[in-house]
C-alpha cells in the first residue's frame, strides 16, 4: 500500500483511507472493529471519523457513537501507533454539537476534549474543520451558491483566533496536524495566509467530495493543492455507491444507502444514472471492476493524498482494498475523459 506525505508534515498516510461514518448506524461495533483490523492488515494506516458521526441518519441519540466505537477498539487492545487517526470539528449549524455554535477559539478545546474522551486516546493525528462557518458550495449548493453577506475581515480574524487555539493544542500534544473540509480556494488561501502571519498550524489537507461523477475540485482547488502542498482527501469516491452500478435499472439493494436516503443527498436523477452507465461501460470494455476503476482513478489524480472509502460489508471492503493494486492504462483514461465530457456535472 503506497504511503504519501500529509501536506508539509512528517505524517505519512496510505493512499486509501478507511471511512467510518456508518459505524453505529449501518454497522455494529464488532463490524467496525473487523473493518479496522482488515484494513490494517492490508496496509491501510489511515482512518477518518468526525464528532458528528455516524450518519444515515444524524441524530442527537447517535452523535459521537463512531468515535466511541474507535475508542473501544483501542480499549480492546488495538495499537494506537498503528493508526493515523483523523477527526473533525462540526461547523456552524450542527444543532447536536454545542447547540450549533460556529467554530471558534472557544469551541476548539471543548470539541477536541470531547473527541479525545470518546476516542480513548491522548491525541488526534489530523484535526479537521468539517465545514466553514460562512457556508460552502459543497453538497449540491454549487447550483445556487452566491458569495455574499460575509465580512472578510471578520472571517480572517476568526481564522487567526482559531489558529491560536489550535497551536495551543499542538503544544499540548492533543493534535499533530490541521486540515479543512468542504472548503473553497479562497478560504484555503486565507487559512494559509493566517498561518504564515501567526505561526499557527498550516493547513495540511483538504477533505472535499470527489469522484468520477463529482469533479468540482479539478480546477482552482486542484491548482491550490499542488502549488501549496495541501493534498485532497477525497470523500465519496464511489459517489455514494452509484459508481458500483448497484443502483442501475431501478435497483435499491436491501440495507443500502438509498433505502435510508431516497434522493442520495441530492445526487439522484436521470442524469446521474446515464453518467454512471457511461463509466460502467468503460469498466466493462476494459474488463475492470467498476468500483476498483473508480478508486484507482481517484488515487492517480496528481493532487490526491488519500481516497476515503466506506464499506458496510467485508466483501465491499476487500473489493475496495484491491484497487490499490490497479494501474489504469492510457486507453482507460482516455475513455474516462470521453465519458466525462459527454456527462459533465451530473449533480
Catalytic residues: 53
Residues 6+ apart with CB under 8 A from 309: 16, 17, 18, 19, 237, 238, 295, 320
Do the strands 12-14 and 3-5 form a parallel or antiparallel pair, or are they unpaired?
antiparallel
User: Nearest CA to 87 among 141, 38, 19?
Assistant: 19
In angstroms, the CA 264 to CA 271 distance is: 14
Contact 182, 138 (CB under 8 A): yes
User: Nearest CA to 50 among 114, 120, 141?
Assistant: 114
Strand partners, 232: 206, 304
Taking only Cα atoms into account, the Rg of the chain, rounded to an integer number of angstroms, comes to 19
Q: C-alpha cell of 153?
A: 475581515
Q: C-alpha cell of 9?
A: 508534515
Tallying the residues shown for the chain, one arrives at 347
Do the strands 175-181 and 304-309 form a parallel or antiparallel pair, or are they unpaired?
unpaired
Neighbours of 78 (CB within 10 A): 17
Do the strands 46-48 and 231-234 form a parallel or antiparallel pair, or are they unpaired?
unpaired
Instruction: Give the SS3 label for residue 244.
Output: helix
Maximum Cα–Cα distance across the chain: 55
Distance of CA 325 to the CA centre of its chain: 22
Neighbours of 286 (CB within 10 A): 14
User: Nearest CA to 81 among 12, 154, 144?
Assistant: 12
Residues 6+ apart with CB under 8 A from 235: 19, 48, 207, 208, 209, 210, 308
Amino acid at each position: 500500500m503506497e504511503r504519501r506525505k500529509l501536506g508539509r508534515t512528517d505524517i505519512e498516510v496510505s493512499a486509501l483511507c478507511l471511512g467510518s461514518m456508518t459505524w453505529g448506524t449501518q454497522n455494529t461495533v464488532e463490524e467496525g472493529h473487523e473493518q479496522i483490523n482488515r484494513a490494517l492488515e492490508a496496509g491501510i494506516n489511515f482512518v477518518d471519523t468526525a464528532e458528528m458521526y455516524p450518519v444515515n441518519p444524524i441524530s442527537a441519540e447517535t452523535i459521537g457513537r463512531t468515535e466511541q466505537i474507535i475508542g473501544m477498539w483501542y480499549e480492546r487492545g488495538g495499537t494506537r501507533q498503528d493508526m493515523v487517526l483523523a477527526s473533525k470539528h462540526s461547523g456552524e449549524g450542527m444543532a447536536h454539537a454545542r447547540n450549533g455554535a460556529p467554530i471558534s477559539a472557544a469551541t476548539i478545546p471543548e470539541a477536541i476534549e470531547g473527541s479525545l474522551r470518546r476516542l480513548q486516546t491522548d491525541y488526534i493525528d489530523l484535526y479537521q474543520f468539517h465545514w466553514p462557518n460562512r457556508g460552502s458550495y459543497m453538497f449540491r449548493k454549487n447550483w445556487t451558491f452566491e458569495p455574499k453577506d460575509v465580512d472578510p475581515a471578520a472571517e480572517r480574524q476568526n481564522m487567526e483566533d482559531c489558529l491560536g487555539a489550535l497551536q495551543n493544542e499542538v503544544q499540548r500534544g492533543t493534535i499533530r496536524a490541521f486540515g479543512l473540509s468542504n472548503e473553497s480556494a479562497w478560504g484555503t488561501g486565507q487559512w494559509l495566509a493566517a498561518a504564515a502571519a501567526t505561526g499557527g498550524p498550516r493547513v495540511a489537507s483538504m477533505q472535499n467530495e470527489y469522484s468520477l461523477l463529482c469533479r468540482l475540485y479539478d480546477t482552482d482547488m486542484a491548482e491550490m493543492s499542488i502549488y501549496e502542498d495541501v493534498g485532497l482527501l477525497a470523500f465519496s469516491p464511489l459517489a455514494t455507491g452509484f459508481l458500483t452500478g448497484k443502483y442501475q435499472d431501478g435497483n435499491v439493494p436491501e440495507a443500502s444507502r438509498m433505502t435510508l436516503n431516497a434522493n442520495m443527498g441530492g445526487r439522484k436523477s436521470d442524469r446521474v444514472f446515464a453518467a454512471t452507465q457511461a463509466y460502467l461501460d468503460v469498466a466493462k470494455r476494459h474488463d475492470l471492476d467498476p468500483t476498483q476503476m473508480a478508486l484507482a482513478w481517484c488515487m492517480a489524480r496528481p493532487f490526491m493524498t488519500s481516497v476515503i472509502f466506506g464499506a458496510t460489508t467485508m466483501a465491499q471492503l476487500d473489493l475496495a482494498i484491491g484497487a490499490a493494486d490497479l494501474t489504469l492504462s492510457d486507453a482507460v483514461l482516455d475513455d474516462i475523459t470521453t465519458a466525462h465530457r459527454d456527462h459533465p456535472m451530473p449533480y
